[in-house]
A and B are shown apart, each in its own frame.
Chain A
Amino acid sequence: MSWWVIVALAAGVAAQRLIGMFAGTALLAKVPVFGRLAGLIPAAVVGAVIVQLTITTKTSLVIDERLAGLAVAGVLVWRRAPMVVTIVAAATTTALLRAAFGW
């Protein structure tokens, strides 16, 4: 992550926040679909990022102990467990399986 990447990411995030703050209401009145998309796009992309991090290695699909960690996290998020509990449980599950099976 070079300095200019940090600047570019910061600018892109800030721009969206400012557009929302200053033009959001007018924009949403004119094009209501933006409102629904702005909530759905992060869900779709983060869903993909989670898949990428959990069941892939470079360009192949791999099922391993990471998926078990995610499954535990999924149940805990669904049960509204505190974030810390979710994170620790996912890490512990993965680490234990890794230690046990030497993946």
Chain B
Amino acid sequence: MADRGGRSGPDWGVLSGIAFTFFALGVTVNVLVLERVGSEVKTVVAAIVINSATTELAYIAVRDAGGSLIAALLAGWIVASRFGLLAASLGSRLNVGRWHRTAAGLQSFDPNVGVAVQQRTPHEVMRAFWMVTLAMHTGWWSGTFVGVFLGNVIGDADRLGLDAVFPALLLAIIGNLLRQRPGLIAALVGGAVCALLVPIAPAGVPIIMSLIGAVVALSIRTPETAS
């Protein structure tokens, strides 16, 4: 058990809240993934090694729509760009060796980096980061196993409205990006581009072309908010 001396380190309530959220995420995402993938082993391995629910969901969404493999892979990769940004903001606060950095970089997510960068000393940053990471993974991994189990029990997922879970889940994951004007504009324009292109472009292309939304949002002037 870590010492309790951190002034602003994550407390038990924060950690259990994060663990529970990731548990719920793990269950729902992996019920959906198992339904598409059909193999329990693949579902669990994918959850652990890809380490990005958004990437899995984006890939599956494009494939569901009949998109090509390349379009689906591209969609899965580009939604992970925010993790690069999170790793960068964590990296600038660390004072550790290369291997420790590698391990921390590979685990960069919104909640652990968010809590870590609020700490004062590099030591506190590291400690908070790993505490939240542990809470996240406890939730995500146990949720993954429960999701795979449930997925086998549920059967016809659409009747239960589980197809509505998929977009609702994505909305909840990117909720914080949408609270800032540029993020909201990017999502709205990206969505509009997709809706316009779906009837006329090959499947998968509308998703990739939604990048226009990011470019449009970029061109809108907002006060700089350096993180």
Q: Which A residues fall within an 8 A CB radius of B?
A: 1, 3, 5-10, 12-14, 16-22, 24-25, 27-28, 33, 35-56, 58-61, 65-66, 69-70, 72-74, 77-78, 80, 82-84, 86-87, 89-96, 98
Question: Given A5-B59, A61-B198, A94-B161: A40 and B101 within 8 A (CB)?
Answer: no
Chain B interfacial residues counted at CB < 8 A? 102
Closest Cβ neighbor of A13 among chain B residues: B80
Comparing B3-11, B117-125, B184-192, the segment that makes contact with chain A is: B184-192
**B residues near A90, Cβ cutoff 8 Å:** 161, 164-165, 167-168
Cα–Cα, bound, A65→B75 (Å): 26
Residue of B82, B106, B160, B199 touching A60 (CB-CB under 8 A): B199
Residue of B37, B106, B161, B191 touching A1 (CB-CB under 8 A): B37
Cα–Cα, bound, A34→B88 (Å): 11
Closest Cβ neighbor of B175 among chain A residues: A77
Residue of A1, A46, A49 touching B42 (CB-CB under 8 A): A1
Check if B102 sits within 8 Å of A21, measured CB to CB. Answer: yes
Question: Given A13-B77, A24-B85, A53-B166: A47 and B187 within 8 A (CB)?
Answer: yes
Cα–Cα, bound, A10→B75 (Å): 13
Check if A70 sits within 8 Å of B167, measured CB to CB. Answer: yes
**B residues near A45, Cβ cutoff 8 Å:** 58, 75, 78-79, 190, 207, 210-211, 214
**B residues near A42, Cβ cutoff 8 Å:** 54, 78-82, 174, 177
**B residues near A43, Cβ cutoff 8 Å:** 174, 177-178, 183-184, 186-187, 190, 213-214, 217
Most interface-central of B60, B167, B174 (chain A CB within 10 A): B167
Most interface-central of B159, B183, B203, B209 (chain A CB within 10 A): B183
Q: 11 pairs across A/B with beta carbons < 8 Å?
A: A1-B36, A21-B104, A41-B82, A43-B214, A48-B206, A50-B167, A61-B195, A66-B164, A90-B167, A95-B160, A96-B161
Q: How many interface contacts (CB-CB < 8 Å) are there between A and B?
A: 317
**B residues near A10, Cβ cutoff 8 Å:** 46, 49-51
Cα–Cα, bound, A20→B85 (Å): 6
Question: Given A42-B54, A45-B190, A49-B57: A93 and B78 within 8 A (CB)?
Answer: no
Nearest 9 interchain pairs by C-beta: A24-B88, A21-B105, A47-B187, A44-B190, A44-B213, A20-B87, A95-B161, A48-B210, A69-B164
Question: Given A1-B42, A36-B218, A59-B198: A54 and B73 within 8 A (CB)?
Answer: no
Whether B162 is near chain A, meaning CB under 8 Å from some CB there, is yes
Cα–Cα, bound, A53→B66 (Å): 12
**B residues near A14, Cβ cutoff 8 Å:** 51, 106
Check if A47 sits within 8 Å of B190, measured CB to CB. Answer: yes
20 additional A-B residue pairs with CB within 8 Å, beyond A6-B42, A6-B49:
A3-B42, A6-B46, A9-B77, A10-B49, A10-B50, A13-B83, A14-B51, A20-B83, A20-B88, A36-B218, A41-B82, A41-B211, A43-B183, A44-B186, A47-B210, A48-B194, A48-B210, A53-B163, A58-B203, A90-B164
